[in-house]
Amino acid sequence: MTTEATSRKSEEAVAPGTCWSCGKAPGAGHFCAACGKIQPLERDADYFALLGLPRKLTVKLDDLEQRFHRLSWKLHPDNFVRASEYERELSLVRASQLNDAYRALRDPVTRVEYLLASAGKRREGQNKQQAPPELLEEVFELNESLDELRGVRQGGGDPAERAQLAWRLEEAGKGFEEKLGVVDAELELIGMEWDRLSAENGGAIGAETAEQVKLMNRMNDVLNRRSYIRNLVQSVRKELAEA
């Protein structure tokens, strides 16, 4: 029997919680703690765990990057050219998932989104595209400015009027960019509070306390508000680029 066939047979017959190669408990890493063989990726593998990180929203980016590059080298398919077909497949899957984890966790916003989604708590809601109540007046004025500039541009209006409208729109856009920064700061503070509660609770998925669930609801509200404001900022930038 070939090495690849043996590996495939071992993989098919493996008992839960055991290494496909040596049959011992593999541990929680990418490789078996007993024999060193690369291990299959668990379904819905946690991104934080893949990078050896606790489920915290405060992440040191230099540490994250070092972990990513170190693991990328260990899991790179080039290191498995002489291994069995099964091990090469495992390498490809692990390396791909590691890339996804790094992209999700390196950005503070996508990190929060992933945390909520992985716990089944991300809710965008039916009112995602409705203006937050405290911004209704400013959003109305912004949309008026957008419509006016579009109308003048399409109708080939007076260049001076067009420039004035563009200036007004740019100033309004700056105001919403500042609001976006305020929302990001709020999200960071909520993340710090999450880290404190998570440390007290052990950070287990699905075992969140009532206080943690309440905080997740706040995260959802802030993310939805951020999404709305970000879309406004993008609309302003797009319109100014075409002005």
Residue-wise pLDDT tens for the chain (243 aa)? 344 444 444 455 567 889 999 999 999 899 999 999 999 998 888 999 999 999 999 999 999 999 999 999 999 999 999 999 999 999 999 999 999 999 999 999 999 999 999 999 998 765 556 677 888 888 888 888 888 888 777 766 677 877 888 888 888 889 999 999 999 999 999 999 999 999 888 877 778 889 999 999 999 999 999 999 999 899 888 888 876
What integer pLDDT is reported at residue 164 of this predicted model? 85
pLDDT of amino acid 177: 94
Give DSSP secondary structure letters for 187-226.
HHHHHHHHHHHHHHHTT-TT---HHHHHHHHHHHHHHHHH
- State the Rg of the chain over Cα: 25
pTM: 0.84
| Residue pair 53/105 in contact by the 8 Å Cβ criterion | yes
CB 35 within 8 A of CB 19: yes
> Which of 75, 78, 88 has its CA nearest to residue 4?
88
Q: How far apart are CA 142 and CA 139, in angstroms?
A: 5
* Contact criterion met (CB below 8 Å) for 167 and 237: no
The per-residue pLDDT for 4 is 46
Per-residue pLDDT, 18: 94
Q: Which 3 state secondary structure label does DSSP give 64?
A: helix
CB 194 within 8 A of CB 226: no
Question: Tell me, what DSSP letter sits at residue 17?
Answer: T
* Record: fold of 3-106: Helix Hairpins (1.10.287)
Q: In a 3-state reduction of DSSP, which class is residue 100?
A: helix
Exposed/middle/buried for 153, CB within 10 Å: 0-12, 13-18, 19+? middle
**Chain centre distance of CA 15:** 33
Rounded to whole angstroms, the Cα distance separating 177 from 181 reads 6
User: Residue 109 contacts by C-beta under 8 Å, 6 or more apart in sequence?
Assistant: 184, 187, 223, 226
Q: Which two tokens stand for residue 178?
A: 């500042």
Domain chopping of the chain, boundaries: 3-106, 133-242
pLDDT score for 204: 76
Instruction: Give the span between the Cα atoms of 224 and 145, in whole angstroms.
Output: 24
